[in-house]
A and B are shown apart, each in its own frame.
Chain A
Amino acid sequence: MTQITMTQAINRAIDEAMAEDAGVILLGEDVAAKQGGGVFKISSGLTEKYGENRIRATPISEQAIVGACVGAALAGFRPIAEIMLMNFVTVAMDQIVNHAAKLRFMSGGQTNVPLVIRTTTGVGVGFGGQHSDMLEAWFAHVAGLKIVTPSNAADAQGLMRAAIACNDPVIFIENILCYGLKSDDPGPGHVVPLGKAAVAREGSDCTIVTYGRTVLDALEIAGKLADEGISVEVIDLRTIAPYDEATVTASVEKTGRAIVLHEAVKQYGTGAEIASRLNEKLFGKLKAPVTRIGGAFSAVPMANALEQAWIPNKDAIADAVRTAVNWKG
Chain B
Amino acid sequence: MTDTTIDRDKLRDIYTRTMRVARADEKFRSLLMTGKLAVIYYTVRGQELVSAAAMAALEPSDYLVTTYRGQHDQIAKGVPLNPLFAEIAGKVGGTCRGKGGSMHITHPETGVMVTTGVVGSGLPIANGLALASQNRGDGKVTMVCFGDGATNIGAFHEAMNMAQLWKLPVIFLCQNNRYGEHTAFADHTKVDSIVTRAKAYGMAGVHVDGNDAIAMYNTTKAAVDRARAGEGPTLIEAMCYRMMGHFFGSDFSYMPKEHLAEMAAEDPLPRLRQLMLDHQFTEAELDAIVADLDAQMDAAAEFAANSPLPGPEEIRKDVFEEEIAA
CB within 8 Å for A72 and B131 given contacts A104-B320, A106-B96: yes
Q: Is the CB of A104 within 8 A of B100?
A: no
> Counting CB contacts under 8 A, is B230 at the interface?
no
| Distance between Cα atoms of A176 and B125 in the complex (Å) | 29
Across the interface, which residues of B come within 8 angstroms of A23, CB to CB?
132
| Distance between Cα atoms of A242 and B106 in the complex (Å) | 26
> Counting CB contacts under 8 A, is A298 at the interface?
no
Q: B170 — nearest CB in chain A belongs to which residue?
A: A71
> Counting CB contacts under 8 A, is A329 at the interface?
no
| Distance between Cα atoms of A64 and B157 in the complex (Å) | 9
| Distance between Cα atoms of A62 and B129 in the complex (Å) | 17
Q: Closest Cβ of chain B: how far from A165's Cβ, in Å?
A: 11
CB within 8 Å for A108 and B127 given contacts A75-B133, A98-B118, A103-B106: no
The contact of A64 among B104, B114, B155, B321, by CB within 8 Å, is B155
Q: B126 — nearest CB in chain A belongs to which residue?
A: A71
| Distance between Cα atoms of A285 and B133 in the complex (Å) | 57
| Distance between Cα atoms of A108 and B113 in the complex (Å) | 12
Across the interface, which residues of A come within 8 angstroms of B161, CB to CB?
59, 61, 64
CB within 8 Å for A59 and B321 given contacts A67-B127, A76-B132, A99-B125: no
Across the interface, which residues of B come within 8 angstroms of A168, CB to CB?
320-321
Q: Which residues in chain B, 84-134, are within 8 Å of chain A measured between CB atoms?
A: 94-100, 104, 106-108, 113-114, 116, 118, 121, 123-134
Q: Is the CB of A104 within 8 A of B125?
A: no
Q: Is the CB of B125 within 8 A of A71?
A: yes
| Distance between Cα atoms of A75 and B131 in the complex (Å) | 9
| Distance between Cα atoms of A70 and B162 in the complex (Å) | 15
Across the interface, which residues of B come within 8 angstroms of A167, CB to CB?
321
Q: Is the CB of B162 within 8 A of A61?
A: yes
Q: Is the CB of B155 within 8 A of A105?
A: no
Residues 128-149 of chain B, each 1 if its beta carbon lies under 8 Å from chain A, else 0: 1111111100000010000000
Q: Is the CB of B162 within 8 A of A108?
A: no
Q: Closest Cβ of chain B: how far from A12's Cβ, in Å?
A: 23
The contact of B128 among A54, A69, A144, by CB within 8 Å, is A69
Across the interface, which residues of B come within 8 angstroms of A25, CB to CB?
131, 135
Q: Is the CB of B318 within 8 A of A105?
A: yes
| Distance between Cα atoms of A242 and B319 in the complex (Å) | 12
| Distance between Cα atoms of A111 and B108 in the complex (Å) | 8
Q: Which residues in chain A, 29-79, are within 8 Å of chain B measured between CB atoms?
A: 53-54, 56, 58-59, 61, 63-64, 66-77, 79
> Counting CB contacts under 8 A, is A95 at the interface?
yes
| Distance between Cα atoms of A104 and B106 in the complex (Å) | 10
| Distance between Cα atoms of A84 and B107 in the complex (Å) | 34
| Distance between Cα atoms of A98 and B115 in the complex (Å) | 12
* Number of residues of chain A lying within 8 A (CB) of chain B: 45
> Counting CB contacts under 8 A, is B159 at the interface?
yes
Q: Is the CB of A110 within 8 A of B128?
A: no
| Distance between Cα atoms of A13 and B324 in the complex (Å) | 28
Across the interface, which residues of A come within 8 angstroms of B127, CB to CB?
64, 67-68, 71
| Distance between Cα atoms of A53 and B318 in the complex (Å) | 31
Q: Inter-chain contact count A-B, CB under 8 Å?
A: 150
> Counting CB contacts under 8 A, is B41 at the interface?
no
Q: A92 — nearest CB in chain B belongs to which residue?
A: B124
CB within 8 Å for A75 and B165 given contacts A98-B118, A108-B99: no
CB within 8 Å for A107 and B106 given contacts A64-B127, A74-B114: yes
Q: Is the CB of A111 within 8 A of B106?
A: yes
| Distance between Cα atoms of A94 and B94 in the complex (Å) | 26
Q: Which residues in chain B, 55-90, are within 8 Å of chain A measured between CB atoms?
A: 63, 65
> Counting CB contacts under 8 A, is B154 at the interface?
yes
Q: Is the CB of A70 within 8 A of B319?
A: no
Q: Closest Cβ of chain A: how far from B308's Cβ, in Å?
A: 14
Q: Is the CB of B131 within 8 A of A68?
A: yes
CB within 8 Å for A95 and B124 given contacts A72-B131, A74-B129, A108-B99: yes
Q: Closest Cβ of chain B: how far from A43's Cβ, in Å?
A: 17
Across the interface, which residues of A come within 8 angstroms of B114, CB to CB?
71, 74, 99, 103, 111
The contact of B132 among A77, A98, A146, A242, by CB within 8 Å, is A77
| Distance between Cα atoms of A9 and B321 in the complex (Å) | 27
The contact of A109 among B124, B128, B318, by CB within 8 Å, is B318
> Counting CB contacts under 8 A, is B251 at the interface?
no
Q: Is the CB of B128 within 8 A of A71?
A: yes
Q: Closest Cβ of chain B: how far from A204's Cβ, in Å?
A: 29
> Counting CB contacts under 8 A, is A143 at the interface?
yes
Q: Closest Cβ of chain A: how far from B89's Cβ, in Å?
A: 14
Q: A143 — nearest CB in chain B belongs to which residue?
A: B319
> Counting CB contacts under 8 A, is B188 at the interface?
no
> Counting CB contacts under 8 A, is A175 at the interface?
no
Q: Is the CB of B107 within 8 A of A105?
A: no
Q: Is the CB of A58 within 8 A of B135?
A: no
Across the interface, which residues of A come within 8 angstroms of B317, CB to CB?
109
| Distance between Cα atoms of A75 and B125 in the complex (Å) | 10
> Counting CB contacts under 8 A, is A112 at the interface?
yes
Q: Is the CB of B135 within 8 A of A53?
A: yes
| Distance between Cα atoms of A74 and B131 in the complex (Å) | 11
| Distance between Cα atoms of A54 and B136 in the complex (Å) | 11
Q: Is the CB of A71 within 8 A of B318?
A: no
Q: Is the CB of A108 within 8 A of B94?
A: yes
CB within 8 Å for A105 and B128 given contacts A61-B158, A74-B113: no
10 CB < 8 A contacts A-B: A23-B132, A25-B131, A58-B162, A66-B124, A70-B128, A75-B63, A77-B135, A107-B96, A108-B95, A111-B106
B residues adjacent to A (C-beta < 8 A): 63, 65, 94-100, 104, 106-108, 113-114, 116, 118, 121, 123-135, 142, 154-155, 158-159, 161-162, 165-166, 317-321, 324
A residues adjacent to B (C-beta < 8 A): 22-23, 25, 53-54, 56, 58-59, 61, 63-64, 66-77, 79, 94-95, 98-99, 103-112, 143-144, 146, 166-168, 242
- 3 residue pairs, one from A and one from B, having the closest CB atoms: A71-B128, A67-B124, A75-B132
